[in-house]
Structure 1
């Protein structure tokens, strides 16, 4: 794996390193961060800020990692609302009744309810954050290759339109750290799925050093967001496999790793 970028732009929040989008700076109504693998209490191979309870780590350690991240962002840990992610395109609408609960078989969460932190987990898949500053609404999505070809980005935009009246042109979108086209070698199943889902698959399936193609998750989700009408998109273009010292990478660790998270909340205003 080749290093795609030499510098990882990291902000420290109360000694917890996180990634944040420059285009979202100054929006006081939005509290969010994408965590790294640093700043927690878990030992290898989950070292150290592992947010997953399903990767073999001790429950008490994972809970402490959640507590530390929530404290760094000053969000209520008992209201943390997450999802059992299944690599699909189901979007969960979160209101007061769903606050603090886990949504089953869901890969995107949307809300217009303040003080309701949303959390999704990643280890190579793509975090996608959508903020509507006009209607003060929020969307968070998890896009692996299956979710991407199923249109999770588009589904999240459409769900925000239906639920909150969001205009796609008003949305601010951030595509977070994920495995890059430099490292994401894929097989025939993925190639065929991308060819069926996209009008320009060749641009999303660059050749690798060997005979197999690679898949550009960043570009694929950017394309879907643009086709849905989103115009303001910032892509981190940080490869988690290249930078597995900063982010958990399922591919780089051969499956022995934890999950980092994308956490976002609307502040009351």
Structure 2
């Protein structure tokens, strides 16, 4: 399975981190080929085969992987021994300090975010679409890591994965007004009579306000490059999911 490795996290020998692409799996069209989501209509056996291939590639036990039933919320779950691959919690962020417990966030235009605290040895995986970003899922996850593990924001390394860019994410006036009301006018772009939103601009503004500097953004728009990544917009909603994954060794 083909993956993209964030350079920011490559310097740490005690973690593994990657973002998948849509290449190198067994799923058939329109999920071609490395779909990792069970809820999109793909064959269960193919999704499991893709998970097994990813687990083998990155060197972990699939059954120990924790993924989410993502609901575009600001709910954060602290991963413990009660969770496993077959019991994904309903939330949009996972945090843990447990070793050999991979965390996964899935996406198809939304931003998958990986967080690493090298001082307190803790990790997080966050799903941030427009709703999650406007509801501050990322700052809330950072606060939860502080409250749970003692993580200091200045120590965190944060990677924003492949996502739809402001070049392609067209929105309506109602959403634009919500963004303006919350102080994110600079994330908007008007072109002729169309409105576009760059969710990553919101996320980066939030990180800047927190004083976080160790940030990497995977600069690939999933809609522009939907031959390489799944895109809910470009693929007309019927598509698979890529994933961000992070593991404490």
Q: What secondary structure sits across from 1:69 in the alignment?
A: helix
Q: CA RMSD of the aligned region, Å? A: 1.2
TM-score (norm 2): 0.96
Deviations 1:220-247 (A, max 9, x none): 1111122233221111121000000110
Contiguous gaps of at least 5 residues in structure 1? 1-15
What SS is found at the alignment partner of 1:141? strand
CA-to-partner distance for each residue in 1:140-198, whole Å, 9 max, x for gaps?
1000100010001111100100000000000001011000010011112321221222x
Match of 2:193 among 211, 216, 219: 211
> 217, 224, 228: which one pairs with 2:206?
224
Structure 2 unaligned regions, length at least 5: none
Q: Deviations over 1:40-83 (max 9, x none)?
A: 00111000000111111100000000000111000110111111
Q: Is the 8 A contact 1:206 1:215 kept in 2?
A: yes
Q: TM-score, normalised by structure 1?
A: 0.89
**CA displacement 1:83-140 (0-9 Å, x = unmatched):** 1100011111012233445343300000000010111210000011110000110011
Q: Aligned partners of 1:196 and 1:187: how far apart in 2?
A: 14
Match of 1:126 among 96, 101, 111: 111
Contact 2:30 2:238 in 1 (8 A): yes
The corresponding residue for 2:235 is: 253
Q: Which of 59, 62, 69 is equivalent to 1:74?
A: 59
Q: Once structures 1 and 2 are overlaid, which stretch shifts more, 220-229 or 73-82?
A: 220-229
Equivalent pair of 1:51/1:261 in contact (CA under 8 Å):
yes
Aligned equivalents of 2:66, 2:4: Cα separation in 1: 20
